[in-house]
Amino acid sequence: MNSFFNRLTPKETKFFPVLKEMSDVLISASDVLICYVRSDRSSKEPDYYKEIKELERKADDLSNRIFEDLNSTFITPFDREDINNLANTLDDVIDSINKSAKLVLLYNPKKMPESAFKLAEMIKEATIQIGKAVDELDVLKKSPENIKKYCRELHDIENRADDVCDNYIMNLFCEETDSIELIKLKGIVTQLEKTTDTAEVVGKIIRTIIVKYA
Amino acid sequence: MNSFFNRLTPKETKFFPVLKEMSDVLISASDVLICYVRSDRSSKEPDYYKEIKELERKADDLSNRIFEDLNSTFITPFDREDINNLANTLDDVIDSINKSAKLVLLYNPKKMPESAFKLAEMIKEATIQIGKAVDELDVLKKSPENIKKYCRELHDIENRADDVCDNYIMNLFCEETDSIELIKLKGIVTQLEKTTDTAEVVGKIIRTIIVKYA
Amino acid sequence: MNSFFNRLTPKETKFFPVLKEMSDVLISASDVLICYVRSDRSSKEPDYYKEIKELERKADDLSNRIFEDLNSTFITPFDREDINNLANTLDDVIDSINKSAKLVLLYNPKKMPESAFKLAEMIKEATIQIGKAVDELDVLKKSPENIKKYCRELHDIENRADDVCDNYIMNLFCEETDSIELIKLKGIVTQLEKTTDTAEVVGKIIRTIIVKYA
């Protein structure tokens, strides 16, 4: 009975807090990633990878909750599949942060390059822009101007991250003579850069929603 | 005339058998992949790669048949583009199986690691879950509970495949000193793992359809 | 006031010229890529990478113009999000051409292999097919037969590019003993092949539009 009325009550706003929670998890994960990349990976350091892994699982649960809620909700602010896509893509961002951290753990390179620090900071910037965009989803239809700006920002961050990654790899091929170390460093820096690509995809999904409801 | 009536007749069910045929092809291809990975790749072995290539072409034809049928069908069980997406993604899975087999052929590593066997088995498991989900597409709108379970299973398989791949690569960097052999083995194992990613995408597409028609 | 009427006036056709302009930019970029791959990359050569970079920015601007126009247009020939997706994917193709050129610049391999020339030519072929398909978008609903043919062509080009790439990499692992040079050449040839994958995605997006409006 309760469930029946529950289904008929409009709940436009119930998805926004969960999406917001997801974007907060992204920001936290990018904070831990910065610490991890900056750490000397000794046994004295906190287990940063484990922290990121836990945040990744939390985001996974939130994304699932959205999926289940969408299936039992009559009215949603946007088409159901758009909210589901957005939640999936936020999940992809934290998966990519998690994968970056995992490569640091797996490859354990001798020395972490400055470019990896820069890229981790850029990932943080990107998650903050995502947070701002998610914050304004409730006014997306009425005034999308700010959200468009954040999406544009995600695009610019990705471009800058690309440059950092490219310059690093060009130098790496000139300077690194140990081919195993080269594979490791190229792998880590490329994966960090890919995380900004995934963050940009969030911007593209949001732009598609803007276009759809314009 | 026939064509005219054909177009007006509802044929909700005509796409399911073809999708089912595609998922059967996926299962067959993953069976051959297991044999290929387990083989010693000598000239006495059957030409496993050729068998997979043929299955891949068959899936390509089936996917095209669905595309052409969608264009001449008036009523379909779901939105036409959803069925087309699903067929495309099933096609992506077999493309990825085919690519895995191709890397085995191209790289011809000295020794196939145990992790490659495990991953090939996991790909088989994933294609079986896909088969089960496709089997129940006709009741997706009424009772999606089982299908949701299979999608969840695809997600779990991908997570476990990730762990197998990561552990293997961590050890590989510790033990393999021949950097060419390292590139080969890393490439094959990563591609096998990517195949479980693609299988999970099938689950995501199906979940999007569930959400859309909830 | 002008803006108000502007919004109410049907402008089915206003997006086609911009999409056409984008596809022309793709063809130009693939022409420059051929020159770059064939050049000896000496200081006497024109700055091909810079030319491609500029074309990439131009495509980016055009894609943004389409996004902004979609947001202020009342009636569009297809669903707004389909046009936006198509523009985004055209943008992905030139991003991939740009990335191919960047790897040539970054890696600066000792000798460019014949397969890289072949692949650059295939990318050109693919952009020409895309151009033809974009040319006929205005008749997509009435007579999609030619467009289907171009999409099929994009699929075939991708298959052939795959073979060129695979054969090259198989030989590379047999013949190249310098593992750093191997990583570079494998990276460039793989990226060129990926560009034909992205071109095929344009075909897939167009096929999805065909299916939707069939």
Taking only the tens place, the pLDDT of each residue in B175-212 is 999 999 999 999 999 999 999 999 999 999 999 999 98
Taking only the tens place, the pLDDT of each residue in B4-62 is 444 444 455 688 999 999 999 999 999 999 999 999 988 888 999 999 999 999 999 99
ipTM: 0.84
Whether the pLDDT of residue C14 is over 90: the answer is no
Helix, strand, or coil (residue B123): helix
Q: Does C183 touch chain A (CB under 8 A)?
A: yes
Most confident of A52-56, A104-108, B139-143: A52-56
Nearest chain C alpha carbon to B79: C212
| Average of per-residue pLDDT across A106-125 | 96
Residue C81 has its nearest CB partner, among A182, A186, A211, at A211
Output the CATH code of domain A2-212: 1.20.58.220
Nearest chain C alpha carbon to B179: C179
Q: Which sequence spans correspond to the domains of chain B? A: 2-212
Q: Does A201 touch chain B (CB under 8 A)?
A: no
Whether the pLDDT of residue C12 is over 90: the answer is no
Please, what is the average pLDDT of chain B?
92
Closest CA to B190 of B168, B171, B208, B205: B168
Q: Do A88 and B212 touch (CB under 8 A)?
A: no
- Neighboring chain B residues of A80 at a CB cutoff of 8 Å: 211-212, 214
- Amino acid B10: pLDDT: 47
| Average of per-residue pLDDT across C179-198 | 96
Q: Does C67 touch chain A (CB under 8 A)?
A: yes
Could you give the CA distance from residue C173 to residue C184 in angstroms, rounded to a whole number? Answer: 12
Under the banding of pLDDT at 50, 70 and 90, the label for residue A43 is: confident
For chain B, what percentages of helix, strand and coil (3-state, to nearest 5) are there?
80, 0, 20
Could you give the CA distance from residue B102 to residue A106 in angstroms, rounded to a whole number? Answer: 26
Question: pTM to 2 decimals?
Answer: 0.89
Q: Do B211 and A180 touch (CB under 8 A)?
A: no
Could you give the CA distance from residue A63 to residue C156 in angstroms, rounded to a whole number? Answer: 38
Whether the pLDDT of residue C10 is over 60: the answer is no
Q: Closest Cα of chain C to B108: distance in Å? A: 9
Whether the pLDDT of residue C141 is over 70: the answer is yes
Could you give the CA distance from residue A157 to residue A149 in angstroms, rounded to a whole number? Answer: 12
| Average of per-residue pLDDT across C146-165 | 97
Determine which of B189, B211, B212 to mutate to test the interface with A (most A C-beta atoms within 10 Å). Answer: B211
Q: Do A180 and B182 touch (CB under 8 A)?
A: yes
Residue B67 has its nearest CB partner, among C183, C186, C207, at C207
Could you give the CA distance from residue B171 to residue B189 in angstroms, rounded to a whole number? Answer: 13
For residue A177 the two structure tokens come to 């003579």
- Amino acid C8: pLDDT: 44
Under the banding of pLDDT at 50, 70 and 90, the label for residue A76 is: confident
Q: Does A102 touch chain B (CB under 8 A)?
A: yes
- Neighboring chain A residues of C71 at a CB cutoff of 8 Å: 144, 210-211, 214
